[in-house]
Amino acid sequence: MFALAAAGADKIMLVIHGGAGTITRRSMSAEMEQQYRAGLEQALRTGHGVLAKGGSSLDAVESTIRVLEDNPLFNAGKGAVFTHEGRNELDASIMDGRTKAAGSVAGLTIIRNPISAARAVMEKSEHVMMVGRGAELFATQQGLEIVDPSYFWTERRWKSLQQDLLKEKKPQAALEGAEEKKFGTVGAVALDRSGNLAAGTSTGGMTNKKYGRVGDAPIIGAGTYAENESCAVSATGHGEFFIRWTVAHDIAALVKYRGMPVKAAAEEVIHKKLAPVKGEGGVIVLDAKGNFAMPFNSEGMYRGWIGTDGTPHVEIYKD
């Protein structure tokens, strides 16, 4: 779960995640596993293509996450889960490690790619976070692609909501085909040839979430953080814990102020701080030398990385 980029200032690295949770071999068909691996590889190759051509870490993060948002397998964009009211509400954030500029959005219902809306907030407004109809109006004014809310509807996610609603009525009911518990979020952290870091995270939230609920994905310092002096972080997990423990910034602070390697810092927070309080999930972390870590305390996490050689690596299970 840890690697070191080869020495040299022009090395590039991209690390991604596609959500954590109860993800085991016994719960995944061979066909479904192949689909997830293909989706993660496509995202890795897209982001690597940006970095290999000398593009910025911000461009790589945005383009990578857009691929994942457009893939209905992942709980972001097209694959977003449903709220209790049967809506799809999307959140995202992005941060520039060079300047610590950041942008985020929450509660979107008509913007195809929330990560691009978050970047627009960062670069085209004086704000960091915009939510709901105001964020949608701003994104529309910036020329981002608008879709009908029905674009986000998928049968798989709709069935998951119906299963959750039935559980509320019959908590002890044995529900055949119930979807395994997942904390669906997608994220990316990147290092470009100029040595700059960036991080981004996007999500459809939690199935059956109550009205107005916002998790950690759009909150800078909780689900997303980046600064060249420490590291870039994107998280996936039970958002309420990641907010309360300011997970992304806590990891960066351990790297910056205690001089901890990213692997040690990430594991300190995920395994020693979150696990004891049953805060389930994981993170991807990358520093300006290309060191990265992908720890998680759940049964699995969709994750992968690609470096200068352009070979994508994808992992799903704990082992």
Catalogue the active-site residues: 185
d(CA 22, CA 182): 6
Rg (CA), the chain: 18
168 φ, ψ (degrees, to nearest 5)? -65, -35
Q: CB-based burial of residue 151 (10 Å sphere; 0-12 exposed, 13-18 middle, 19+ buried)?
A: middle
d(CA 9, CA 293): 20
d(CA 270, CA 1): 13
CB within 8 Å of 42: residues ≥ 6 apart: 67, 71
Residue type at position 32: M
Element (H, E) at 234: strand 232-237
d(CA 35, CA 147): 25
Q: In terms of Cα–Cα distance, which of 4, 203, 220 is closest to 94?
A: 220
Q: What is the DSSP letter of 13?
A: E
CB 303 within 8 A of CB 310: no
d(CA 306, CA 171): 43
Element (H, E) at 162: helix 155-169
